[in-house]
Amino acid sequence: MKQTDLYNMASRCGFTVTVFSDHPDFFSSWSLNIRKEDKKYMIEHDGRDGWLMFYQENEPNKFKEIDKKISHAMDDNEKINQCESWLLSV
């Protein structure tokens, strides 16, 4: 996943990226921590198990899963579209 694509998507949705972690050697896994005003969220792609997951911080440094999708059949554009859909819903 291209970091710039994720940053651009977050910006379009009114979010600020606080942390991006990319682990291409581990099944193309990555995570994106973002915030909008006082709310924090995290999107993770677990390439090994094929999950794209969306979390909201409910306590400092503790996140609760909001949604997840099977991602092994998604291309990068579909993953970006799913992430954008999640961000526009909150």
Q: Over 40-87, what HEC string results?
A: EEEEEEECCCCEEEEEEEEECCEEEEEEEEECCCCCHHHHHHHHHHHH
Mean pLDDT rounded to a whole number for the chain:
94
Amino acid at residue number 40: K
**Domain, as residue range, for 10:** 3-88
Confidence check: pLDDT of 81 > 80: yes
**Res. 41 pLDDT band, cuts 50 70 90:** very high
Closest by CA to 74, choosing from 41, 45, 32, 54, is 45
Closest by CA to 63, choosing from 88, 21, 31, is 31
- Would you state the pLDDT for residue 51? 94
Average pLDDT over residues 9-35: 91
Confidence check: pLDDT of 23 > 80: no
pTM value surpassing 0.85? yes
